[in-house]
Structure 1
Amino acid sequence: MNAHQTNHIADTSLTGGLVDLIARKPVSQADLDAAALFTLDAIANVLAGRNSVPGEILLRWWRARHNSNIALDPSQLAFLMGGLCHILETDDLHRESVVHPGCVVIPAAWALARERGISGRLVLESILQGFEATTRVGMAVGAAHYRIWHNTATCGPYGSAMAAAALLGLSREETVHALGNAGSQSSGLWQFLETGAMTKHLHAGRAAEAGLKAAELAAFGFTGPARILEGEKGFFRAACPDANPDAVLGAPDAPWQLTRTSIKPWPSCRHTHPTIDAAEELRVKLGERGEDAIRSISIGTYQAALDVCDRKAANSDYEAKFSLQHSVAAALLYPKVDFDAFGDAARARCANLALRVSVQAAEPYRSAYPRAWGGSVELTLTDGTVLSATRTNAKGDPEAPLSRADMIDKALMLFAHGKVREPERLVDGILGLASDGALPDLSLF
């Protein structure tokens, strides 16, 4: 195939169209401010993730392979940061794509900008572009993909490649090559849920690393498949039986998808959050009557939540974070659903109540997903009283957003969990990126 044919394919491919769509989107100061808050959330998750068993393993692995006399490879640093960011289950989530963009895009952008001394505004613009790429691909993969494949892992490389391409100043053609090679590395299966293995963190780190490396190679002329999405042997054909390719380029004038991304207030799988929110309301209604007054609990949700989080018995912190039953029990029994609510003591306390929980896919939540992630909780008490609460959207969704103060408070909570010194300095430094400030030093290791 000659260069003219290659360029024509790039011009007419979905990937080429995605690069063009992103290039045409205007960036306002409000967009930059939003990107800075999402960056704060992701970096807080990175630093808090160090205080965990998987985080300690990742850091031991890193220290065994690196010393202070060797310059950091940005793709390897992106891998480490991505893995750490996704450990505590408090990172962001884009509902319609079921992708966690921040744990992939922001580590890649941060690692590359750190190496090259790139200023804050350009970093935030690259993050906006990376979120756009990964979520638009994610919105196109279809529901069947998510039953086997982890969307953050499979769609994430497109986002990290897009962010890196922006920071590297790649041409349109080079960016298409970068996305093509990033997409060819799409992988990540849900099998780890069977045993609660640590694989999910590897997914985020690998997606961040894969896209960044693909962009770096494209800068040297390394080519990739333009039709990686729609080709006969491409991503959609291989792994997306009900793909909707039109979603990649749909609604080109919509707001940046970063502003349509949700922030998690609780450290558990996002699918548990609508019912945690509803259960917290019921805890107040229950008042002094306590656990013994509850005969049974019924949860209404959507099918994807059942596929991932239907787990009556939780034998580890991680399994508890992926258990609708435990999460609702914890929200009913504890005044605050924080990291401790998923620990050994909390699992022991919640185990009996969790056994009284039944879960089912129910309307209107089943049909509304993935446009809206809602749920309901109904308590039947021993005296026959029924208490119920419903949520159309989860707290932290664009329709029920956290405030700027809420976001800062959450970051400070995560920094405290990660034993970060001078957390206010980091908050000011990261939010200052929107005013073109320099990247603050993370003291990651």
Structure 2
Amino acid sequence: MRGKVVSNIRIPRAAPYTVLPGRGADSLIFPGIMLALIVCERGRNINGLRQSGNRRDRMHETQTIAEWAINLNLEDIPETVKDHARRFILDNFGCQIAGATLPWSKDYHNVITRTRSGHGATVAYYGDQLAPDDAAFLNSAFNHANETDDTHLKSPTHPGGIAVPAALAMAEYARGSGAQLLLAVIAAYEVQIRLSWACSPHLIYKGHHPPVGVGPFGAATASSILMGFNLEKTINALGIAGSHSAGLIEYTKTGGSVKRIHSAIPTQAGVRAALFSEIGITAPHTILEGEKGFCKVFAGEYDLSRLTDGLGETWHLLDNGLKPYSCCHLIHAAFDALDNIRDESPLRPEDVKAIRVATNSEPILSHIGSIMEPDDILGAQFSLPFSVAMRLHNGNRGVQGGNGFWDYMEVDFKDKKLLETARKISVFVAEDQSEWASVDKGAGVEVETIDGRILQNSVTFSKGLPENAMTPAEVEEKFRYLVDPVMPSGVPATIVERVKEIEAVNDINDVVRLLVVPPAPDARAAAE
């Protein structure tokens, strides 16, 4: 991520976000997470139980989660949870298909298909048959390719780009049904989120990227369900997955593109762990809670109760958020506020004298307000001034508002009119007594027009977060936006209907085949 950097940062007296050593979205601690950090640094978890340094009574969390997973039935899961999971599946399918066309995704595809063999699972978009762990790797890499996949901010982690590719590959390998796929996806989401939340914020504080750390357990859980494992094999799959946990965020310090495969690595690991368990490899039964287990070694400070409290009754996947825009989620609220302003007072770029975007957080400002003139896609996706300029010039709102997957692939970073507008946009930290003092989760936007008007709007929760969730129609709109340019006519609508009725799909291959795009001269590939 490169670009021209601007400064003039004002630090508030009490920023609602805390920045960790390093830079980037993954170095931020959110308000509720910060409270956990303060309490835990005093030597106790939020329930008053010491969980580092001293031994505690064993609660058998690994076994409890394994037992829950193998006994889980769709009939016992609330309909609202299943509705959310269906939307997550559709959203991730869209991310996979569009993501497969990107230049770096083509590189991943080339190296894996050139060096690997096997069969049992299908690579989305391309149609190759590979071993399930390799197919899952590629589909997950496509899924996470362009800042478009879902996010669970509270924990924080990216569960969908692991849960869906792992479950799809193993459902095909095990000749499963749509109902089994849905069940496995729900379980994989829940395990990942609970584990990341149990270790929050210390996992990321110690330099581990949560998806790569917790993802293998989610993928192994999905795989165990689809393979019909008993308790012993499921525990072993989780234990083997723990030996695959990884993920360092040094890229936030010195750069690199490795983050693009930070969902693919754990997806492959969890699937492979289940395959190893199937043939008899054994593993520790205390991989999560043990003295040398994941929580102790990776996080140090943690709250094991978050792993199992309310398991089967409280569904953390309901807190998961979808991304209507393909850029850093910290910019999304500014888009929504600008849309609200334009709904009341139509604006053209030439009408604008200045746009000021308020936040209470210096870390947010430094994260999305520093780059004015990006040099590459990632720089644009983390530049609020440039991204808001894209939206203003596009003139539309919502998913089609100019900040989508294809928009960032096609934008001209040297467009003189875009850059002229971007220079009119500034981000600032609100003073305690200012009119924007309450903007601590979203953004406040103030537009000053050439004719002297001042237009204001603020958004606390951006579109896609659970407090302001995308409707089923909006999720479908995003899916169609992602895949319509690269899929034959009629296929996207068929996928939508198939996912809505996923429990009625007897053979998952009926879904898998729809995700393969036959070569066509009019297919849109972002790399071309």
Alignment TM-score, normalising by the size of structure 2: 0.73
Q: Structure 1 residues 24 and 296, CA, compared in 2 at 3 Å: closer, same or farther?
A: same
AA paired with 2:469? Answer: P
Q: Structure 1 residues 351 and 289, CA, compared in 2 at 3 Å: closer, same or farther?
A: closer
Structure 1: give runs of 5+ residues left out of the alignment. Answer: 1-8, 367-372
Map 1:33-432 to 2 at 5 A: 33-65=83-115, 72-146=130-204, 148-193=207-252, 197-240=256-299, 242-252=301-311, 254-284=313-343, 287-288=346-347, 290=349, 293-300=352-359, 305=364, 309-313=368-372, 314-335=374-395, 336-337=401-402, 338-342=404-408, 343-345=410-412, 348=415, 349-355=417-423, 356-360=425-429, 364=438, 366=440, 374-380=442-448, 386-420=454-488, 422-432=491-501
Distance 2:250 2:211 in 1: 15
Distance 2:459 2:301 in 1: 28
Offset at residue 56 of structure 1 (A)? 1.6
Moved more, 57-66 or 132-141: 57-66
**What is the CA RMSD across the aligned residues, in angstroms?**
3.2
Distance 1:309 1:232 in 2: 39
Query: 1:316 touches 1:344 (CA, 8 Å); kept in 2?
Result: no
Query: 2:442 touches 2:460 (CA, 8 Å); kept in 1?
Result: yes
Distance 1:318 1:49 in 2: 14
Q: Paired residue for 1:19?
A: 66
- Whose Rg is larger? 2
Query: 2:389 touches 2:421 (CA, 8 Å); kept in 1?
Result: yes
Q: How many residue pairs get matched?
A: 431
Q: Paired residue for 2:5?
A: none
Q: Structure 1 residues 106 and 246, CA, compared in 2 at 3 Å: closer, same or farther?
A: same
Distance 1:193 1:150 in 2: 10
Q: Structure 1 residues 172 and 312, CA, compared in 2 at 3 Å: closer, same or farther?
A: same
Q: Paired residue for 1:3?
A: none
Alignment match of 1:443 (pick from 516, 521, 525)? 516
Structure 2: give runs of 5+ residues left out of the alignment. Answer: 1-55, 121-128, 396-400, 431-435, 519-528
- Residue-by-residue CA offset, 1:232-281 (whole Å, 9 max, x unaligned): 33333333355333322234354433333211111112232222212322
Distance 2:429 2:506 in 1: 49
Distance 2:292 2:195 in 1: 17
Q: Paired residue for 1:5?
A: none
Distance 2:329 2:363 in 1: 11
Distance 2:477 2:345 in 1: 28
- Residue-by-residue CA offset, 1:275-316 (whole Å, 9 max, x unaligned): 221232234456346356333523316577457545414221
Offset at residue 375 of structure 1 (A)? 3.0
Offset at residue 331 of structure 1 (A)? 3.0
- Residue-by-residue CA offset, 1:185-233 (whole Å, 9 max, x unaligned): 2222333356764312211111111111112212233222333333333
Question: SS state of the match for residue 287, structure 1?
Answer: coil
Moved more, 249-258 or 176-185: 249-258
Q: Structure 1 residues 12 and 83, CA, compared in 2 at 3 Å: closer, same or farther?
A: same
Offset at residue 384 of structure 1 (A)? 6.8
Distance 2:57 2:267 in 1: 24
Offset at residue 436 of structure 1 (A)? 3.6
AA paired with 1:18? Answer: I
Question: SS state of the match for residue 378, structure 1?
Answer: strand
AA paired with 1:329? Answer: A
Offset at residue 77 of structure 1 (A)? 0.4
**Between structures 1 and 2, the one with greater helix share:** 1
- Residue-by-residue CA offset, 1:389-423 (whole Å, 9 max, x unaligned): 22222212222222222222211111124345522
AA paired with 1:345? Answer: D
Q: Structure 1 residues 304 and 72, CA, compared in 2 at 3 Å: closer, same or farther?
A: farther
Distance 1:85 1:116 in 2: 22
- Residue-by-residue CA offset, 1:75-101 (whole Å, 9 max, x unaligned): 010000000001122212222122221
Query: 1:50 touches 1:418 (CA, 8 Å); kept in 2?
Result: no
Moved more, 179-188 or 281-290: 281-290
Q: Paired residue for 1:4?
A: none
Q: Structure 1 residues 69 and 87, CA, compared in 2 at 3 Å: closer, same or farther?
A: closer
AA paired with 2:106? Answer: E
Distance 1:244 1:131 in 2: 19
Alignment TM-score, normalising by the size of structure 1: 0.85
Q: Structure 1 residues 289 and 318, CA, compared in 2 at 3 Å: closer, same or farther?
A: closer
Distance 1:444 1:213 in 2: 27
Query: 1:48 touches 1:419 (CA, 8 Å); kept in 2?
Result: no
Q: Paired residue for 2:15?
A: none
Query: 1:145 touches 1:240 (CA, 8 Å); kept in 2?
Result: yes
Distance 1:99 1:354 in 2: 31
Moved more, 337-346 or 395-404: 337-346
